[in-house]
Structure 1
């Protein structure tokens, strides 16, 4: 049972998320196909836990997030929603934000593989990832206003970062639907593939990322997240991060591989403490 302050306990759904490994890539699949993987409260908790476990697992280098049976996520499960006072809905809202915090907190790249609908929270969930691979017939829509809501799960950071404030404003206010092909042309997604190929393509990209230097990838993710920084502050952070990486096994391996004219084999070995 899931305990929510001020509410009746909610039964857990142990199969709402599937977790499999493809080498160093952890694949997390939303698994409520009967509602096109709509997000209810148990799924929020299960998804957050799966992401946090992937972050904590040293054997996982990249995370791929996808949905079961041809749908990414049709949004929040409206059948489980009703009008409630703020003190009763805060914990529910924070459970959704926990999912996005897990994606943004981990230094490991997170790749979304999107087929079919990605509506409302589904769009927000995909855009929270570091890379979005979408089928050409996938559909993105920020449909929160359809039920009188504005949006959450980081959509007010991720959407304007990808398409600009003006386009984000129109998408959020009008609930405009964007197909995968157009999504690629406006920067909403990073790679567009044929229908049915999103997961395979995402795993291909994930394998490339998994072969990269994990410490450096984590720094890149951290430096590009959060509030915009003053350029002079960026310079100081770059010095701090570069000197940390200079004292890493990844850097030593990269230099050695260059000299030996071979591909580097990176591993997340932390730098030595002085």
Structure 2
């Protein structure tokens, strides 16, 4: 396990901490591999009854590390071979409670992974966004289904297509997280949720989660989204969007004849 993903187990709770605060916890492929390994191991460990996902620093997660992601894409590796898909599969199949504590910025995967958490707490001033279309990409992590189910089609479309930024308070009002609290209460509230899950009958709580989720369908959707994401990533729109991002200018999209 690398230093940028920290894993600790105590009293039935595995705490998975994103530990790259200088980069706003932007996730690299190496971090995805570590996170996937942590979830895969936790699933088979009877000592682990719940997983709490948190982050160091002033932001929960700035999304993908764009340079790392672009390098992986340029290497010619298929999307299915990228560590992010191992992590997404682990999320889809994880049958123990997942809890998240969100502070500061949560972007892209920093939001869509919350859709796989059973309980989530956000700081009141957290800022959540899914700006996939801003980068000429497409939704991932089964968010094309799960986000509309969580908050309704129109709100989801505003987030996914227009990049609407949602505060922690709004996220709680919309049902994207369970509650929004002052920043200094965030960790204690999330830990209380995790402890409550760990104290429940483990077989019963896992059975309940399995009944509430269709892991096979979610994984199939993730793969379908991945194909669209990869096609967009390789296309001219994404090249223009990434170039504009690097040059810090508005993207200029043209309509093909």
In the alignment, structure 2 segments of 5+ residues that lack a partner are 218-257
Aligned ranges 1:1-274 → 2 under 5 Å? 14-82=2-70, 84=73, 88-91=77-80, 93=82, 95-226=83-214
After superposition, the Cα gap between the structure-2 partners of 1:174 and 1:99, relative to the gap in structure 1 and judged at 3 Å, is same
Q: Per the alignment, in what secondary structure is the counterpart of residue 82 of structure 1?
A: helix
TM-score, length of structure 1 as denominator length: 0.73
TM-score, length of structure 2 as denominator length: 0.78
Q: CA deviation at 1:85?
A: 6.9
Q: Per the alignment, in what secondary structure is the counterpart of residue 45 of structure 1?
A: helix
Supply the distance in 2 between the matched residues of 1:196 and 1:92 (Cα, whole angstroms). 40
In the alignment, structure 1 segments of 5+ residues that lack a partner are 1-12, 230-274
Deviation track 1:189-224 (CA, whole Å, cap 9, x = no partner) reads 111111132222111011111111211211221111
Deviation track 1:5-35 (CA, whole Å, cap 9, x = no partner) reads xxxxxxxx82111011231111000111111
Deviation track 1:88-133 (CA, whole Å, cap 9, x = no partner) reads 341355x223223223322210001111111011111222211111
Runs of 4+ deviating beyond 6 Å: none
Q: Per the alignment, in what secondary structure is the counterpart of residue 2 of structure 2?
A: coil
Higher share in helix: 2
Asked which structure has the greater CA Rg, the reply is 1
RMSD, matched Cα: 2.2
Supply the distance in 2 between the matched residues of 1:160 and 1:172 (Cα, whole angstroms). 10
Supply the distance in 1 between the matched residues of 2:81 and 2:125 (Cα, whole angstroms). 32
